[in-house]
Amino acid sequence: MWALKKAWYRTYQFVMGLSMYTLPWIEPTIIDGADSIKKLPAAIKKKSITNVLVVTDPGLMSLHLLDSLFEALKSAGIKHCLYDQVQPNPTIDNIEAALKIYQANNCQAIIAFGGGSPMDCAKITGARVARPNRSVTKMRGLFQVILPAFKMGSIFPPPLFAVPTTAGTGSETTIAAVVSNPQTHEKFPVTDPVIRPRYAVLDPMLTVGLPPHITSTTGMDALTHAVESYIGKFYNSKDTRKKAVMAVEIIFKNIEKAYNNGQDIEARGKMLLAAYYGGYSFTRGGVGNIHCIGHNLGGMYGVPHGLAMPVIMPYVLEWYGEVVHKRLAELADIAGVSKPGMSRSQKAIAFIEAIKALNSRMKIPNKFDCIKDEDIPKIAERALMECNPTYPVPKIMSKEDCMGVIRSLKA
């Protein structure tokens, strides 16, 4: 039975890989450079949009990071209303609250300002605008926004302008959003090309004030995107692998610079670009077991996504074993952590060890103290439900395999 299941997963992934060529891949237009946030209103006006919803979180509001955006919108004659209650793991209630504000004010577009959480909330809010009769839970999984288009109206949600304030999630270019259901303690993805942002504003000045631990964990999140995409099967193209390689190279050269000196504008800008490339890569290339385990640790215990990714990554890469050694050896060369005369396996191991060393130098832990033994079977079951058959992982985990990896993460 297990052999049949694995065959079905691989068949599904192969067919999905072929279908990737038929999807509407609309890349965001990039606006970048220091103070590029001030250029956003002009882009909005070009689309004849005069009324927008801004989605963000309380922390960013308290830091007054949006002040320059609000001033620029006002100067351009663009009205805005605000939803600023997005939680670190955005919930269905967050999305519904933002939707009510959008509808009550007759907005025409959405600006997502912040890290992955405001971006995810804004994406799914836009999907709800386009599909008012389709609940968030019914959008779970792949293409559940675009598929019912002919029954429920317009194919595309309202335009989404993404302004990242962390260099990590890559949400400003991805077709994925993650939402939490507090009632069931589940965290699940909504993945659809029509929720991809139309513009991405990469302004390093917005990331200058990030604390070191946010800089490190979000940057390692971007690395996870690039690595999982690069080692995945079936979905990748030459372009996505190229972007993954670029992300890995930039991150290894710049993440510690940004971590050690938050005022390094050049390093901050490069990390934003790396996060974009990582997001670009996994938008088509997909993610894998690192993400599905991380999502469900987040859903069960509230573990921040950026923290989950670097902690889990070495354990899963080691579990994959020789299946990923060729790809990891290539990344070791790109990252500059291999040495002359090393075999492929030695290079792969060196790459994994380099990730562990980065984590250690940036004070990222190597275990979680929140995992309870009695929860492990449920976490594994939910993780594999998310992963299979859609994620093009290099090696398929059984429930026992997944439980073993989760146990190894327990402090």
What is 86-113 written as a DSSP string? --SS-BHHHHHHHHHHHHHTT--EEEEE
212-408 is classed in which CATH architecture? Up-down Bundle (1.20)
CATH number attached to the domain at 23-206:
3.40.50.1970
Res 106: pLDDT: 96
**What confidence score (pLDDT) does residue 26 get?**
83
- pLDDT 10s digits, 219-252: 999 999 999 999 999 999 999 999 999 999 999 9
What is the per-residue pLDDT for 209? 84
Per DSSP, the three-state class of 371 is: coil
Q: Cα(74)–Cα(323) distance, rounded to whole angstroms?
A: 54
What value, to the nearest 5°, has the Cα angle with vertex 355 and ends 349 and 360? 125
Q: How far apart are CA 259 and CA 267, in angstroms?
A: 9
Question: Mean pLDDT of successive 10-residue segments in the chain (411 residues)?
Answer: 91 91 85 94 95 96 93 96 93 97 97 94 96 91 75 73 94 92 84 93 94 95 97 94 97 98 96 96 94 93 93 98 98 97 97 98 96 96 94 96 97 91
What residue spans define the domains of the chain?
23-206, 212-408
| HEC profile of 284-295 | HHCCCHHHHHHH
Indicate the SS3 state at residue 29: strand
Please give the Cα distance from 301 to 409 (Å, whole number): 14
Q: What pLDDT is stored for residue 149 in this prediction?
A: 58
Alpha carbon 158 to its chain centroid, in Å, reads 21
| Per-residue pLDDT, 155 | 66
pTM over 0.75: yes
Peptide bond into 41 cis (omega under 30): no
Strands 29-32, 141-142: pairing kind: unpaired
- Say yes or no: do domains 23-206 and 212-408 share a fold: no
Phi-psi region of 188 (alpha: psi -120 to 50; beta: other; left: phi over 0): beta
| Preceding peptide of 389 cis, ω within 30° | yes
Per DSSP, what are the bridge partners of residue 179?
A: 188
> Which of 212, 226, 382 lies closest to 293 in space, CA to CA?
382
pLDDT digits (tens, 9 = 90+) for 326-350: 999 999 999 999 999 999 999 999 9
